[in-house]
Amino acid sequence: MLKPRLNNHRNLIDISGIWKFKIDKNNEGEKKGWNEGFSADSEIAVPGSWNEQLDNLDLLHYVGKAWYTKDIFVPKNFKDKKLWIRFDSVDYHSKVWINDRLVGTNDFGYLPFDFEITEFVQCGKENLIVLSVDNQLSDDTIPQGINTHYYVDEKRPRDETFPAARFDFPPNGGIHRPVYIYTTSLIFIEDIAVKTKLTGPSSSKVLLQLNINENISCELVVNISDNNSIFNEKFKYNGNSADIEFEVNNIDLWGLGNPNLYKLTVTLFNENEEVDSYSLQIGFREIEVKNKQILLNGKPVYMQGFGKHEDFPVFGKGFNYQSLVKDFSLMKWIKANSFRTSHYPYAEEVLEMADREGFLVIDEVPAVSLDFRKVNGGTLKSHKEFTKKLIARDKNHPSVIAWALGNEPNLVGNPDYFNGEAEKYWKEIFQNARELDSTRLLTVPNCQKAGINDPVFLFSDFISINRYYGWYEHPGQIEYGVEVLEKEMDEIWNKYHKPILMTEFGTDTIAGEHSISDQMFTEEYQSKFIEKYIELLRSKDYVIGEHVWNFADFRTPQHFRRVIMNRKGVFTRTREPKLAAFKLKELWSK
Ligand code: BDP
């Protein structure tokens, strides 16, 4: 489904705000009929994680079930339309009832889901919405979950975190992005996919793939404009999907520093009556890998930027416009030109801003630290489905240049990872993604424990590596770490002949700690580590970019390795700069 928008044919109400909330530690809500309504423990802000809002309920580390409810007034004039509810993301599993009737379930966090609710709501009245949410992950969810007893079975009790997680960020729960009620006409445009292919320095082929909700014969008007209309034509078609191809001329390409965008509007006519229209921003650009380089519109680009997280005090993983604006403003200040949505899809508003500001984005499927001892048919199925949903949501963003189909598989360093099964798995995951989108690049950031024989390298368009020599390995020895890294990078290049992006490198740094000697955790150590790594990366012509880990400090599950947060941020969690921020600004301004 397309992102809901307000126009002459579509209504839209944002029903975020204050909802009622109840914890369901014993998973008894459904048995007790909470879907019919319940007496709440508390109120809660939506969007937002439940973890940092409700200290009186002690939810900071809570994993399990919780319930949300709200009475929503649906106006009379929504009658005679199709009505929908949309959650931009709920983490993780959720189930939705309206007026005590089950509307649907969703098992994919970090991504939007819509349910048609025309038959469920009463217009001109209050309607009771109830939602149950469960943030317990399992072997076959993406990302995979873990239970504390696994650590014992796996004989790695010292890895145990609380809450248990296979990754280095907390498995927060809640309604993390806005919730909408919206309408469409009875006949409406379900989806628009825009594919462009440059045919010259200022011309492009355009392939529009449209889905209409019904099999009809009708007319479509396609308009593309900036200030002036550059294309306007009528097309006739039959059925419920249409492929329309045409060429546009005199266009300005989308690129770094000049993110030219155009407004595409599709208007749908049925029996000469206008029944729907939808507009979205598009850009014309081309991305490819050639020999040692990555080319944007035929010219080499070097990526400088960050791996990030959606994480902010109190909001947790909840979307908020303030940190969206703040993070882009800091990225512009520091002269970053790109980032990775580590380790999951970010809010669509982030990609829209990247489109407008001209940032390159590597958009990540949350298959983070897949443990192949626990990978099963269900994991593969969820992974493919997740990829499909992500591409369906983000396919029209010019800023998205690549899909990261996971991050650091085999972080546990299991030797069986190399027995051929994982290779088969990744082959299928990459093939699936290529069939869904042949216009973007594919990669999976690799960890040191999977090493240079990681099967993800075989299928990637460019190689992504996360390395911490001088931190986890060879602690305190930056120069030696850089030597080890250089050897390994040369080896990777010689083996695969694919350009390399450094997707993670960094050191935990406590803002305010200083030292004249190389001393881990100080601001000077982080700054020097980053400088030395960048010096090496820039000396290699097969390196296509550097993404520092991380943009900002972020909360983690509890473990003796972490003092509340992962402190590898160049900015603190509240976005104050550390010394390294100034170093990066200097290096990235060159
Ligand atoms: C890598 C992971 C990332 C971690 C980081 C670290 O990709 O999620 O936060 O290392 O340890 O393993 O700081």
Q: Is the minimum distance from the CB of 407 to ligand 1 under 6 angstroms?
A: yes
Residue 67 resides in a domain: yes
Question: For 459-518, what is each residue's pLDDT tens digit?
Answer: 999 999 999 999 999 999 999 999 999 999 999 999 999 999 999 999 999 999 999 999
- 225 and 305, same domain (yes or no): no
User: Which of 169, 507, 549 best tests ligand 1's pocket when mutated (most atoms within 8 Å of CB)?
Assistant: 549
Q: At 374, is the pLDDT very low, low, confident or very high (cuts 50, 70, 90)? A: very high
Mean pLDDT, rounded, of the chain: 97
Taking the CA of residue 472 as reference, the ligand 1 atom at the shortest distance is: 11
Measure 385 CA to ligand 1 centroid, in angstroms: 25
- 175 and 39, same domain (yes or no): yes
SS3 assignment for 167-200: CCCCCCCEECCCEEEEEECCCCEEEEEEEEEEEE
Order of all β-strands in the sheet with 303-307: 441-443, 400-404, 360-364, 338-340, 303-307, 543-549, 500-504, 463-466
Q: Is the minimum distance from the CB of 311 to ligand 1 under 6 angstroms?
A: no
Helix H segments across 281-347? 321-333
Residue 120 resides in a domain: yes
Q: At 273, is the pLDDT very low, low, confident or very high (cuts 50, 70, 90)? A: very high
* 571, burial (CB in 10 Å: exposed 0-12, middle 13-18, buried 19+): buried
User: Which of 310, 412, 556, 566 best tests ligand 1's pocket when mutated (most atoms within 8 Å of CB)?
Assistant: 566
- 392 and 340, same domain (yes or no): yes
Q: Is the pLDDT of residue 573 over 90?
A: yes
- What is the dihedral angle through the alpha carbons of 194, 348, 6, 9, rounded to the nearest 10 degrees? 40
Q: Is the pLDDT of residue 556 over 90?
A: yes
Mean pLDDT over residues 558-571, rounded?
A: 97
Backbone conformation region of residue 98, classed left if phi is above 0, alpha if psi is from -120 to 50, else beta? beta
Predicted local distance difference test score (pLDDT) of residue 428? 98
As given in the structure block, the two tokens for residue 223 are: 């308009």
Q: Is the minimum distance from the CB of 168 to ligand 1 under 6 angstroms?
A: yes
Helix, strand, coil share (%) of the chain residues, nearest 5: 20, 35, 40
Q: At 147, is the pLDDT very low, low, confident or very high (cuts 50, 70, 90)? A: confident
Predicted local distance difference test score (pLDDT) of residue 157? 83
**Domain enclosing residue 28, as ranges:** 12-135+171-184
Measure 168 CA to ligand 1 centroid, in angstroms: 6
- Per DSSP (E only), the strands in 250-354 are 254-255, 258-259, 262-270, 273-282, 287-290, 293-296, 299-300, 303-307, 338-340
Q: Is the pLDDT of residue 218 over 90?
A: no
- 451 and 559, same domain (yes or no): yes
User: Which of 443, 466, 563 best tests ligand 1's pocket when mutated (most atoms within 8 Å of CB)?
Assistant: 466
Helix H segments across 395-522? 421-436, 456-459, 478-496
* Domain end marker among 282, 305, 328: 282
Mean pLDDT over residues 164-172, rounded?
A: 96
Residue 106 resides in a domain: yes
Predicted local distance difference test score (pLDDT) of residue 136? 96
Q: Which long-range contacts (CB under 8 A, 24 or more apart) does 105-109 make?
A: 107/141, 107/382, 108/142, 108/382, 108/385, 108/386, 108/389, 109/135, 109/344, 109/366
- b/e map 290-314, b = 16+ CB within 10 Å: eebbbebbeeebbbbbbbbbbbbee
Residue with CA closest to ligand 1 atom 11:
168
Return phi, psi of residue 217, to 5°. -110, 130
Q: Is the pLDDT of residue 433 over 90?
A: yes
Q: Is the minimum distance from the CB of 134 to ligand 1 under 6 angstroms?
A: no
Strand partners, 542: none
Provide the CA 14 distance to its chain's centre, in angstroms. 22
In one letter, which amino acid is 341? T
Q: Is the minimum distance from the CB of 447 to ligand 1 under 6 angstroms?
A: yes
Q: Give counts: helices (H), strands (E), the chain.
A: 9, 32
Residue position matching structure tokens 């170093």: 583
Q: At 241, is the pLDDT very low, low, confident or very high (cuts 50, 70, 90)? A: confident
Provide the CA 506 distance to its chain's centre, in angstroms. 21
CATH of the domain at 107: 2.60.120.260
CATH of the domain at 219: 2.60.40.10
Q: At 1, is the pLDDT very low, low, confident or very high (cuts 50, 70, 90)? A: confident
- 250 and 318, same domain (yes or no): no
What domain count does the chain have? 3
Q: Is the pLDDT of residue 239 over 90?
A: no
- 275 and 401, same domain (yes or no): no
Residue 119 resides in a domain: yes
* Domain end marker among 282, 312, 330: 282
- 241 and 179, same domain (yes or no): no
Q: Is the pLDDT of residue 448 over 90?
A: yes
> pLDDT exceeding 70 applies to what percent of the chain?
100
Asked whether the beta carbons of 365 and 403 are under 8 A apart, the reply is yes
Q: Which long-range contacts (CB under 8 A, 24 or more apart) does 214-217 make?
A: 214/187, 214/240, 215/239, 215/240, 216/187, 216/240, 216/270
Predicted local distance difference test score (pLDDT) of residue 51? 98
Question: For 42-54, what is each residue's pLDDT tens digit?
Answer: 999 999 999 999 9
513 is catalytic: no
- Per DSSP (E only), the strands in 505-558 are 543-549, 554-555
- DSSP, res 507: -
- 107 and 230, same domain (yes or no): no
Q: At 238, is the pLDDT very low, low, confident or very high (cuts 50, 70, 90)? A: confident
Question: For 94-123, what is each residue's pLDDT tens digit?
Answer: 999 999 999 999 999 999 999 999 999 999
Residue 142 resides in a domain: no
Q: Which of 81-90, 150-159, 227-236 has the highest mean pLDDT?
A: 81-90
Question: For 4-22, what is each residue's pLDDT tens digit?
Answer: 999 999 999 999 999 999 9
Predicted local distance difference test score (pLDDT) of residue 470? 98
Given 52, 364, 504, 523, the catalytic residue: 504
| 3-state SS class at 377 | helix
Report the C-alpha gap between 100 and 447 in whole angstroms: 47
Asked whether the beta carbons of 196 and 284 are under 8 A apart, the reply is yes
Q: At 562, is the pLDDT very low, low, confident or very high (cuts 50, 70, 90)? A: very high
In one letter, which amino acid is 97? W
